[in-house]
Structure 1
Amino acid sequence: MHIAILTLTFSLPGCGSLKEKRQRMGGLHERFGRSPSVAVCESGERDRHDASEWTFVIVGLSKREIESQCREIEEKIERIVDARVVNVEREFF
């Protein structure tokens, strides 16, 4: 069993409220939390309008499998979220 922790930090330029922030982040929990091998939560910058941090915990049978899932998550986020990714951190266990 292998585990990865993927943490993405976002910048939301021009975001004026927490409601707008939720709309711009596009329901990450609903989109990625459906998978039985992925857990997702907003892990930081909760009270800031112009920033957000999300953490994904990915579990798989091989490191290669979870690396692939991490790449898929990153690529999908860049397409669907109205924010700029400013930092990506990966940890493997």
Structure 2
Amino acid sequence: MHIAILTLTFALPGCSSLKEKRQRMGGLHARFGNTPSVAVCESGARDRHDASEWTFVIVGLYKRDIESQCSQIEKKIERTVDARVMNVERDFI
């Protein structure tokens, strides 16, 4: 069993309220949390309007499959989220 922790830090330029932040970052739970091998949560910068941090925990039998899933998550987020990805961290347990 392998576990990856994928943490993405976002900048939300021009975001002026927490409501707007939720709209721009919205749907991450719905898009990725329904996958049985993925858990997702907002893990940092919760009270800031102009930034956000999200952590994904991915579990699987093979490290290469988990790495592939991490890459898919990153690519989908870059295409669908109205924010700039500032940092990506991958840790394997």
For the aligned pair, the TM-score class normalised by the smaller chain equals: over 0.9
Instruction: Note if 1:81 corresponds to 2:43.
Output: no
Q: Which amino acid aligns with 2:2?
A: H
Q: Which amino acid aligns with 2:86?
A: V
Off by >3 Å, runs of 4+ in structure 1: none
Aligned length: 93
Aligned residue for 2:49? 49
TM-score (norm 2): 0.99
CA distance in 2, matches of 1:69, 1:51: 24
Q: For 1:1-93, list aligned pairs within 5 A.
A: 1-93=1-93
- Mark the runs of 5 or more structure 2 residues left unpaired by the alignment: none
CA distance in 2, matches of 1:4, 1:28: 18
RMSD: 0.4
- Aligned-pair CA distance for 1:15: 0.1
- Give CA deviations for 1:30-86 in whole Å, capped at 9, x if unaligned: 110000000000000000000000000000111000000000000000000000000
- Mark the runs of 5 or more structure 1 residues left unpaired by the alignment: none
Percent identical: 84
Are 1:2 and 1:92, in contact at CA under 8 Å, matched by a contact in 2? yes
CA distance in 2, matches of 1:73, 1:60: 15
